[in-house]
Structure 1
Amino acid sequence: MEQSFPAEGFFDLSASDLFGLACEQYTAFYAAQTPVNAFLVSVTLFHLLDWLVKNGTKENVREKLAAKDEAGRSAEEALVLKIHGLEAFRAVISAANNAKHHTLDGKTRPAYGKRIKRGFFTGVSRVGDSLGTEYLILDVDDKPVWLRDAFWAVLDTYREYFQKERSPE
């Protein structure tokens, strides 16, 4: 038996499948904030936009969508704009691009300083975190962005969309 798939997409994966994968990757990252786990979740969160809207990660596509009449946008187009509008998404873009490319151009793909802090921090640490928890941080415009929080903000925005997609109206 042989099963064929169209050239577009990747076998029978759907955007919903990739969202599920991002959730699993985030869970792994939450438990162990390693560069490898950050690589996986950042690349999936970033490129999920491309599965929702063709070239959804591209700035020129974002600009075209923003210029479109709001009533004429699909739910996916509205989500792409919402994700791009998140302050946390800047960290996701940088993490994903820096994970894929050792050196970034600094214009469309800015690189930010990276740090790992270990300990328990008021306002950041959560119930269940140990004193030895490591946190991956990007310094975005001289502001520390804790990747766990940035990934969550983007993932939660995706979650709203995928829950609406599944619920009957």
Structure 2
Amino acid sequence: MSFLLIPLKLSLNLKKHGSQIKGKFSLIWLGIRVFSREIPEEKDEDEKKKKEKEEKDKKEKFDVDGILKILNLFLDAWPHIHRLLVTIYHSFSLEKFSLDLVMGLESPADTALFTGYIWAFTNPLTALTPIHVLVTPEFNRRVLDGNLQIDVKLKLFRIVVGAIRAYTKKPVRELIKEIRS
């Protein structure tokens, strides 16, 4: 039960230079890295073929009546799902958001205009939140490169309680049952 009371830290680091995107996602609990994944993840050809086959089978499985039934069940369960989504939203807290961006558009005037809009929007946020955005305009070429770092704290206790509360409602259980079948 203690893992529900101690928050998890989710960390995402992405770097884009040219057409190459690299990054790392980490899940940290009590300063211990529980889960880590490199982005993009390398997969075997056999795994790709299996996933493609599974996706194709899933696409063939759905029919219009099934989709309509799921939508009706979703509408019945929406108040409970909405309450769970709000609980999930309130369980996250942003610790760090850092974006270093090099941006260049086709026209130097467009580059200056968009850079100004971004600066006008992000500078007030920097004073009030842990958001740091640095946009460097590139007037000579068309480019969009940068680094992104996001650290989020997640409190699981509220989410688990909200999920149990939602699952105790009949419309939610019926929706889950229909989706699984």
- Max Rg structure: 2
Q: Same fold (TM over 0.5)?
A: no
Give the TM-score, by structure 1 length.
Answer: 0.24
Question: Which of the two has greater strand per residue?
Answer: 2
